[in-house]
Chains A and B, each alone.
Chain A
Amino acid sequence: MAKKNTTNSQTEWNYAASPESTSHIRLEKKYQLFINNEWVAPSSKKYFPTINPATEDVLAEIAWANDADVDLAVKAARKAYTEVWSKMSGAERGKYIYRIARMMQERAREFAVIESLDSGKPIRESRDVDVPLACNHFFYYAGWADKLEYAMPHKKPEALGVAGQIIPWNFPLLMAAWKIAPALAAGNTVVLKPAETTSLTALKLAEIIKDAGLPPGVVNIVTGYGDTGAAIVNHPDVDKIAFTGSTTVGKIIQRAVAGTHKKTTLELGGKSANIIFDDAPIDQAVEGIINGIFFNQGHVCCAGSRLFVQENVADLVIRKLKARMESLYVGDPLDKNTDIGAINSKEQLDTINKYIKIGKAEGAEIYQSDCSIPSKGFFCKPTLFTGVSQSHVITQEEIFGPVLTIQTFRTIDEVIQKANNTPYGLAAGVWTDKGSRIFNLTTKLRAGVVWANTYNKFDPVSPFGGYKESGIGREGGVHGLSAYLK
């Protein structure tokens, strides 16, 4: 894979394939809707295939919920809220959530394998990041259920009611956990819709919810496309919409709920700046840049997709970056050597390729690693663009793929201006050895999460969410609870 070595080493970094086994996972051929702790055939009678984006093989058929199915789910959630969940003590609610966390831990490997099969992300990430973080999220919020009055001092915290939750395909199980755990801890019931390309782990989570003995209707999972999501958003008996996805769809939702009683939290797109100063530990910074843009194929809302390098170290950083890109393994998501797995869908691959084309047409200089990519499935080589400016489309719009743009800067004021000059404000990274400079930057960057000398770190206790058009509200930590309380 590393055919073109541009650094100090001529080593060929080729490993024998080390695929994770799929023998221990259980997958049905066909999945129904999960309503009232039962598997219910959709009244639409329609199903759609979910495929493995690395092979294009069909993994299962998934029910496609229509308005009537969503209505059934909302009714189940309402009934569970009024009759059971809102009457239960916080301590008892917490025990159910702890149970979910434990059962997920027990089945962690199965979940990791299915996540990689269905989403295309490398097994190393689903195994070491997505699944453990999802378990921990339930574990963390379980403990809040009987302590809500400490989360909102001087208020008598009350649940909102039925929460409609719509999640994306980039972290399917983790986003389900981010949504369900705080909602349940705060005393709400849930109707959740996973993304159409990645329904499987949410449906496996439904198995756990049933096994954990949650009262019927507390969590309902309805699968489908955008029309299913719209049915949730527009349902009059939903009290809260929590959405993670694109800024475009976030705005559609915000318009749909205008003038209603529904509360929203939106976790949307980004075009986050990753800033490297000349005094930064360069090798660590290069690792941070790689992690910032190539983690999860760049399908990360907070991806560090705009790199700013101080001019006097730009040549060095770019040279090291290119060399590091050459050592990235692109390929089979189930192979434990793989760094970059499959692009989630054909549609997303087309989007990424469209932006790469735009970048070239705009006159930017492209560099792609010299790796081979599988002939089947959806793959994209790690890509960077130099010779770009603030006015390029590829530096302004979210690409949501393994594509980095690199700009240089001279002064701190200049880079702050450039970094903040975007409608987005989700995250930012700063790399420097100087403490006072870190605090100057982390204070002035208008973004909800700032990583200093690190990037793309997540934790259940750590609030996450954006400024400006990157969203409204926070998820995670004590701040994430208020989204589900009045």
Chain B
Amino acid sequence: MEILKTYKIYIGGAFPRTESGRYYPIVDASGSTIANVCLSSRKDVRNAVVAARKAFGGWSEKTAFNRGQILYRMAEMLEGRKLQFLEELTKQGSSKEAAAQEVQESIDCLVYYAGWADKYQQIASSINPVSSSHFNFSALEPMGVIGMIAAQETSLIGLVKLLAPAICGGNTVVLAASEALPLCAVTFAEVVHSSDVPGGVVNILTGKVSELAPAMAAHMDVNALVSESLGELDKTLALACVDNLKRNIVYQQGTTQGLPYITALQEVKTTWHPIEQIGGASSSY
């Protein structure tokens, strides 16, 4: 007799059920139920934002090297659970080949951003030669709490490609899984959980995008909203983002990977300090 898995959500490093008690069934091609998934509520979003905000200070202040190691650890954990993801992907309708490719790409993506963690700063920051006696530099800092809607057409890769650059850059995330294909998101939470990612850095909710995305867009303590284009919903979300001038980042479908996905979720901070100018000594040698 197989032990079936209860698919719960992931908030603040714990796996609660939705506070609403609601669920929705995920069915396979033959029409039989493969899981009852949490239909998360706006209150779950708010709880997740609180957890993400609490985690932001610690995560953003970790060394870049350490964040890279943790992302690499996530890749290791995902590799170890490969079979589980393959099974879930095929259950949700992928072919075996497509599933194998998706899992491999997801692992590679985590390794890719693990490597970026201590490098993007050097590429994107600058020392600014101001015309006065000041030392002036601009460096990147994470935006904060990111609301994120996973790509809808895939169960795993579409969330990894949006999530990895965000946490690589020191942000914390509240992520809504693919509405129709949510299983891998929940299992991915288990990967996160066993990879030394502090609780609250990644929070994963399952449910209706039309319910969760507007709640994230309207939340005054979310700093940015990231999604692939959701069609009609894009404008509604953009309008809701205005109340606290949330950065609203909408990618076209089929997210790739690269430095711009990291820098899109960074603020540029410029720091000035005077340079002492006394005496006439100059250093020519």
Contacts and interface: CB of A to CB of B under 8 A. Distances in A.
Contact of A463 (B143, B239, B268, B273): B268
B272 interface: yes
Interface string A444-459: 0011111111100101
Interface in A426-482: 438, 442-443, 446-454, 457, 459, 461-465, 467-469, 471-472, 474, 477-479
A254 B274 contact: no
Contact of A468 (B128, B239, B244): B244
B83 interface: no
A438 B137 CA distance: 14
Interface centre among B143, B273, B274 (most CB of A within 10 A): B273
Interface residues of A, number: 42
Nearest to B272: A451
Interface residues on B, range: 35 or more
Nearest to A247: B245
B208 interface: no
Given A452-B271, A457-B130, 9 more contacts: A254-B242, A255-B239, A259-B234, A453-B273, A459-B131, A463-B138, A468-B223, A472-B247, A474-B268
B235 A254 contact: no
B5 interface: no
Given A258-B235, A448-B267, A452-B271, A457 B244 contact: no
B270 A468 contact: no
Contacts of A268: 245
11 contacts: A153-B123, A254-B242, A255-B242, A258-B235, A442-B269, A448-B269, A451-B271, A452-B272, A459-B130, A463-B268, A469-B244
A266 interface: yes
Given A452-B272, A454-B274, A258 B130 contact: no
Interface string B39-61: 00000000000000000000000
A475 B238 CA distance: 23
A423 B241 CA distance: 14
Contacts of A469: 244-245
A208 B267 CA distance: 35
A461 B129 contact: yes
Given A472-B247, A477-B128, A457 B134 contact: yes
Contact of B131 (A136, A423, A453): A136
A376 interface: no
Contacts of B259: 154
A251 interface: yes
A315 B132 CA distance: 32
Interface string B252-274: 00000011100000011111111
A452 B267 CA distance: 19
A447 B270 CA distance: 9
A250 interface: yes
Interface string B215-252: 00000000100000000001100110111110100000
B271 A463 contact: no
A61 B274 CA distance: 44
Interface string B112-155: 00000000000100101111101010100101100000000000
Contact of A442 (B134, B234, B271): B271
A461 B130 contact: yes
A472 B245 contact: yes
Contacts of B143: 467
In order of increasing CB-CB distance, the 3 nearest A-B pairs are A259-B235, A258-B238, A459-B130
